[in-house]
Homo-oligomer: A and B are copies of this chain.
Amino acid sequence: MPQQSPLDLPEGDPFGPHNLPYGVFTTADAPEHRRIGVRYGDHVLDTAAVAAMLGSPHTDLLSQPLLNPLMAAGRPVWDAVRAEVRGWLTDPAYQTTVEPMLVPLAEVTLHLPFEVADYVDFYASEHHASNVGRMFRPQDEPLLPNWKHLPIGYHGRAGTVVVSGTPVVRPLGQRLPAGADTPVFGPTQRLDIEAEVGFVVGTPTAPGERVPLTSFRDHVFGVTLVNDWSARDLQSWEYRPLGPFLAKSFATSVSAWVTPLAAFDAARTAPPARDLPLLDYLDDSATEPDGLDIRIEVALNGHPVSYPPFATMYWTAAQQLAHMTVNGATLRTGDLYASGTVSGPEREQRGCLLELTWSGRDPLELPDGTRTFLLDGDEVTLTAWAPGPDGSRIGLGEVTGRIAAATD
């Protein structure tokens, strides 16, 4: 049987010609030479090398060590580069040029693909916000009065956004033991995940410029998977009145691949029905739907524990961007905003252990033992896909991280 070309993908491969996510990679022979690659099946296309050989007008953008210059170039350039790369991979005329430039995934090291400017985390799942409300504020209504009027969000720490595969060291901090009135200090005992979808801003705004719902696609370059690691005991002690701080700032993992927003056209879907009328700048009742049918799987040490459905999110990424800029705050290339924990209505659709175990009351039974929160050595992997055109699947890059013991 002849050696198959890496250009011939198995049917249904989620990293086929409709996907074409961007990453930044190095190879062992040139560990300092970071350059942009596009994933195709189980290979990485060295786009800088192909562009240079073919004299592409985008050679310079594709030869950078980060995606930021390409992201800043704007939507017409994004579309042109995407069409060009797809041509290289699918037009037989390019086969002999392109084939040697496909590097097996196993032979590359993947890096954080873009420099993060500001990082914002939203809170857009009604199921998640309601569950957290029930656990953290049992005396109140689960949803606060503002929740269905605006997408609640806050700023996180951009400097600790790390690429998939980076170990996550268990953080130290203050927690208040049950019944105590004085905190104790030590490694978190309630280390958790949050399965989220992230949106990466390409086109910046001028000061005071607002981004209406209909301009979402002109500003957002692509989509990542995000695991917003959380220390629940630190969080419940510190979060009043200014929100989470050290409980979240130690690490946020993102996938090594940024899938262009254009790859999700077939995944657009109506968000849940709105229970309350929305102010004009958030009102999406008359726009094309901006919900996305992205299906996430959360695996703990290889065992699936949850299937969070992104299509159930109350607030869309377009609404979040409109809200984030309505006060005149500028966007910069590299701004990352995440959806908030994706949780569906069913128990097996919850996107964090806090909800999956109901704050530790209902442990998960796994083949390697029970779990409430994460133990040292545990590895969490998020994967996801969305429907693509013609029955294809669009795979999102995985986000994985293993817990390392706290250090003194």
Contact = CB atoms under 8 A, between A and B. Distances in A.
Per assembly, the copies of the chain total 2
Nearest to A171: B327
A86 interface: no
Interface string A263-286: 000000000000010011100000
A156 to B, nearest CB: 6
Given A155-B157, A329-B246, A329-B249, A240 B146 contact: yes
A330 interface: yes
Nearest to A188: B327
Interface in A143-190: 144-146, 149-150, 152-160, 169, 171-174, 176, 181-183, 185
B117 A324 contact: no
A402 to B, nearest CB: 15
State the main secondary structure of chain A at its contact with B. loop
Given A118-B159, A154-B155, A159-B117, A324 B246 contact: yes
A329 B207 contact: no
Given A237-B146, A249-B329, A208 B169 contact: yes
Interface in A196-244: 207-208, 210, 231, 234, 237-244
A245 interface: yes
Contacts of A158: 117-118, 158
B118 A323 contact: no
Which 4 residue pairs across A and B have the least CB separation, nearest first?
A: A243-B243, A171-B327, A155-B155, A154-B242
Given A160-B330, A249-B329, 5 more contacts: A152-B245, A155-B155, A155-B157, A185-B279, A249-B324
